[in-house]
């Protein structure tokens, strides 16, 4: 029970990778804040966790909205007193070739994936700085490291997260806060389910381990980065991609 008496807030945790992270940290004793825009799914996830005997509750928050983010952090601290672990996991795609991409789809993806992580990091850091301890993990992507045709907005947002990770790691280190990122490869989730068969096949061919990852693979990496075992690791980008990029 590595995370007993620790509070973990995961954005976009109603389903997919965020949910797997919540389950993993809960199974090791953390109190969980499920935060999402999909409240029915968020409540269902909380119920699943509670049924297993884990402490969890849900708060609705759109990470791209500064007022929502402020309220989310305030409510979390009011309920659990501390905020020890925060995972910027919420993310969306609006894929199309760059030449055809609308300004609206560019802004939407950057607002949620990158500005959302900035707003969350800023609000969380204020609490963690007072505590003089904390762990922040940003869910970036292999696509932020290598680019991907049809994902100019998404890859830019995920590359931006790498810069945010390193800058905030430098700013917060003296307060006992580590900030790291995970760059997943192709993970089976509702986000990747909708990709065309040929795109899935291409990713499979390029992945050295010849299988797609599972949300639990990312959750295991998060559990390591937020543990005491990783206390000397900050500003790093951990690739969990099955050898898609080396």
Name the residues that contact ligand NAD, by CB under 6 A: 11-12, 14-18, 36-38, 62-64, 89-92, 112, 139, 141, 184, 186-187, 189-192
Question: Toward ligand NAD, which CB reaches closer, 63 or 128?
Answer: 63
CA distance 206 to 190: 21
Query: 31-36 and 134-139 as β-strands: parallel, antiparallel, unpaired?
Result: unpaired
**Minimal distance in Å, beta carbon 90 to ligand NAD?**
3
**Minimal distance in Å, beta carbon 206 to ligand NAD?**
13
Question: Toward ligand NAD, which CB reaches closer, 166 or 175?
Answer: 166
**Minimal distance in Å, beta carbon 116 to ligand NAD?**
6
**Minimal distance in Å, beta carbon 80 to ligand NAD?**
19
DSSP the chain: -TTTT-EEEEET-SSHHHHHHHHHHHHTT-EEEEEES-HHHHHHHHHHHHHTT--EEEEE--TT-HHHHHHHHHHHHHHHS---EEEE-------B-GGG--HHHHHHHHIIIIIHHHHHHHHHHHHHHHHT-EEEEEE--HHHHH--TTBHHHHHHHHHHHHHHHHHHHHHGGGTEEEEEEEE-SB-SHHHHTS-HHHHHHHHHH-TTSS-B-HHHHHHHHHHHTSGGGTT--S-EEEESTTS--
Question: Toward ligand NAD, which CB reaches closer, 18 or 134?
Answer: 18
Question: Toward ligand NAD, which CB reaches closer, 175 or 214?
Answer: 214
Question: Toward ligand NAD, which CB reaches closer, 95 or 176?
Answer: 95
**Would you please indicate which residues are annotated as catalytic (active-site) residues?**
154
Please return the burial class of 56, using the count of CB atoms within 10 Å of its CB with bins 0-12, 13-18 and 19+: buried
**Minimal distance in Å, beta carbon 64 to ligand NAD?**
5
CA 210, distance to chain mean position in Å, is 24
């Amino acid at each position: 029970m590595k995370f007993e008496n620790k509070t973990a807030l995961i954005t976009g945790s109603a389903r997919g990778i965020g949910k797997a992270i919540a389950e993993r940290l809960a199974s090791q004793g953390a109190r969980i804040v499920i935060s999402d825009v999909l409240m029915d799914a968020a409540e269902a996830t909380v119920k699943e966790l509670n049924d297993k005997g884990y402490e969890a509750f849900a708060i609705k928050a759109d990470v791209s909205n500064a007022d929502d983010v402020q309220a989310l952090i305030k409510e979390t601290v009011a309920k659990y007193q501390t905020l020890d672990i925060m995972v910027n996991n919420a993310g969306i795609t609006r894929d199309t070739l760059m030449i055809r991409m609308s300004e609206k789809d560019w802004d939407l993806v950057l607002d949620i994936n990158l500005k959302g992580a900035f707003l969350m990091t800023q609000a969380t850091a204020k609490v963690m700085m007072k505590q003089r301890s904390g762990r922040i993990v940003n869910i970036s992507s292999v696509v932020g490291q290598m680019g991907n045709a049809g994902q100019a907005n998404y890859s830019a947002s995920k590359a931006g997260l790498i810069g945010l990770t390193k800058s905030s790691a430098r700013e917060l280190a003296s307060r006992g806060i580590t900030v790291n990122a995970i760059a997943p490869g192709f993970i089976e989730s509702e986000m990747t389910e909708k990709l065309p068969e040929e795109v899935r096949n291409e990713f499979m061919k390029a992945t050295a381990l010849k299988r797609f990852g599972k949300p639990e693979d990312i959750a295991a990496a998060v559990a390591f980065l937020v543990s005491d075992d990783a206390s000397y690791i900050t500003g790093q980008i951990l690739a969990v991609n099955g050898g898609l990029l080396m």
